Structure 1
Amino acid sequence: MQVVDSHIHLWDLKTHRYPWLENPGVSFVGDARALKHDYLLDNLLAEAGDIDVKKLVHVEANHDPAYPVEETRWLQGIADRAESRGMPNAIVAAVDLASPNAPAVLEAHASFANTRGVRQILNVHENRLFDYVGRHFMREPQWRENFALLRRHGMSFDLQLYPSQMEEAAALARAHADTLFAVNHAGMFVDRSSVAGYRAWRDGLRMLAGCSNVYVKISGLAMFDHQWTVESLRPYVLETIDAFGAERAMFASNFPVDRLFGSYTDLWHAYAAIVEGASVAEKEALFCGNAERFYRI
């Protein structure tokens, strides 16, 4: 099976600082203590087994926020090695768009050949267990002003948020129709204990899908389903594809985070089993083509 993995993370604890891995703990997404080790390109490819990893997209791994460009510099150095075959082929870099130095950080990221976009985690939740950032960045004038600079650099935006934030995000996408957005982790449906929670996720996905510049990554599902099976993932995968269509959805592994709950090969074969009835063209789009087109790789 050939794939373009549109969402992976690498880190080298010997040479770089990742504050979240300095004193990791246990949260709803798993036990981060099990991630406190180097995870490099060779480690990921060694786990691929019978999965033919054609290309990789690296998404910022919560590197030291004081030096966001250092992560991009390191990743570009990996990609430039002959033995790396250009991987990671696309880099989604870190930036704090609410910071006064955001324009300079974007300019610096843009100087690297494999930079394709940026991510700033936006997840806000009334339950502190699920809250990531504690502030509504999309409502802040400075953040919105700097967001508009993405167009100047031809950068996409990886959109990590919860369903309760999707209406605001759709408005942002409509206001920046010439910027591409990639919803991370199928919209992070975390409120699974109520019908209202399901409706918020389902309707929010469709609201975002109504914007032609918004795509979605089917990834990170294991963070909310630690004992996952093909059947437990099936409704979330199919609902997401139904919302965006096979032409704007892409599969991804979220490794090594989702490695806490299953192997790389098992995950990709689960995706394949769920869409077994899709056409050859739809499968090619979901597993490779959409990611290649979105990230221009």
Structure 2
Amino acid sequence: MQVVDPHVHFWDLDSHRYPWLDDPGTSFVGDARRLKHNYLPSDFLADSGDIDVLKVVHVEANHDPADPVEETRWLQSLADAGQQRGNAKHRLPEAIVAAADLSAPDAADTLAAHAVFANMRGIRQILNVHPNPLYNYVQRHYLRDETWRANFALLERFALSFDMQLYPSQMEEAAAVARAHPGIQIIVNHAGMFVDRHSVAGYREWRDGLRALAALPNVTVKISGLAMFDHRWTIESFRPYVLQTIDTFGVERAMFASNFPVDRLFASYSDLWHAYAEIVSGASDDEKAALFRTNAERIYRI
């Protein structure tokens, strides 16, 4: 199976700092203590097994926020050096989605510094805030911050997309941001992170939030990270979320991704991709090509 994987993370604990791995613990998304080790392109290729990974998009790995550009510099050096696998040389990652604090007064300078690197394509700033503090990734409602919203507009100046990681309860506000900036490509991460999945109200909030975002032509979605909320997943437990997401956005604006090595806590690389393939086995060859390869290539310009 050939794929373009639009959501992976690398880290080198020997030469860089990732605060979340300084003293990792357990949470609703798994045991981060099992991730406290280097994860480099060579490790990723070893994990890929029988999956032929054609290209990769690296999404920021919560690198030291004091120097987010250093992560981009390092990733570009990895891509330039390349990794040999058999007879093929992989220039991983082919695209970089970097970190930036859009609420900071120097956000424009950070974006300009990122933009000089050839593989730079976008920004992710995690937005996840939840009524239950257990699920918070951050402690601020960035979507409601005036400075953040003003600096969001800078992404268009630098020709950068935005990877949007949020919860369903934030989707209406996110849709307003997307509506105000039709020239900025937005990619919803992890199928909208449906965390409140044990109630009818939670399902409706996720479904309706996806619909609000999908109504905007500049918004797309990555189907990934499902195992973070379903540690004992099966193909059948994934199926309704995958199909609902594809139905909402359409085949032309959805793409599969691995979220490796985070989802490695719950699945092998091969098992994840074969599960996706089984769920959409009835799709046409063109639809499968879009979901597994060509949408990611188009959206991330690789």
TM-score with structure 1 setting the length: 0.99
Distance 2:82 2:60 in 1: 23
Give runs of aligned pairs for residues 113-262 of structure 1, distance below 5 A. Answer: 113-262=118-267
Distance 1:204 1:145 in 2: 23
State the SS of the aligned residue for 1:199: helix
Distance 2:92 2:17 in 1: 21
Does the CA contact (< 8 Å) of 2:178 and 2:219 recur in 1? yes
Distance 2:82 2:226 in 1: 33
Residues 1:284 and 2:289 aligned together: yes
CA displacement, residues 101-154 of structure 1 (integer Å, 9 cap, x when unaligned): 111100000000000000000000011110111211111111111111000010
State the SS of the aligned residue for 1:124: coil
Size of the alignment, in residue pairs? 297
- Which runs of 5 or more residues in structure 1 are unaligned? none
Residue 19 of structure 2: aligned partner: 19
Does the CA contact (< 8 Å) of 2:51 and 2:270 recur in 1? yes
- Which residue identity is paired with 2:163? D
Residue 58 of structure 1: aligned partner: 58
Distance 2:232 2:118 in 1: 39
Report deviation, 1:85: 2.6
Distance 2:297 2:227 in 1: 24
Distance 1:27 1:151 in 2: 35
State the SS of the aligned residue for 1:129: helix
State the SS of the aligned residue for 2:221: strand
- Which residue identity is paired with 1:62? N
Does the CA contact (< 8 Å) of 2:82 and 2:92 recur in 1? no
Report deviation, 1:86: 2.1
CA displacement, residues 30-71 of structure 1 (integer Å, 9 cap, x when unaligned): 000000000000101111111000000000000000000000
Distance 1:47 1:117 in 2: 26
Distance 2:198 2:283 in 1: 30
Distance 2:82 2:65 in 1: 29
Distance 1:115 1:101 in 2: 19
Report deviation, 1:97: 0.3
Does the CA contact (< 8 Å) of 2:125 and 2:163 recur in 1? yes
Report deviation, 1:193: 1.5
Distance 1:191 1:96 in 2: 27
- Which residue identity is paired with 2:126? I
State the SS of the aligned residue for 1:100: coil
Residue 36 of structure 1: aligned partner: 36
- Which runs of 5 or more residues in structure 2 are unaligned? 84-88
- Which residue identity is paired with 1:218? I
Residue 86 of structure 2: aligned partner: none
Report deviation, 1:192: 1.1
CA displacement, residues 215-248 of structure 1 (integer Å, 9 cap, x when unaligned): 0000000000000011110000000000001100
TM-score with structure 2 setting the length: 0.97
Give the root-mean-square deviation of aligned CA atoms.
0.7
Distance 2:232 2:82 in 1: 39
CA displacement, residues 241-282 of structure 1 (integer Å, 9 cap, x when unaligned): 000011000000000000000100000000000000000000
Report deviation, 1:158: 0.2
- Which residue identity is paired with 1:11? W
- Which residue identity is paired with 2:239? R
- Which residue identity is paired with 2:53? V
- Which residue identity is paired with 1:17? R
Does the CA contact (< 8 Å) of 2:108 and 2:154 recur in 1? yes
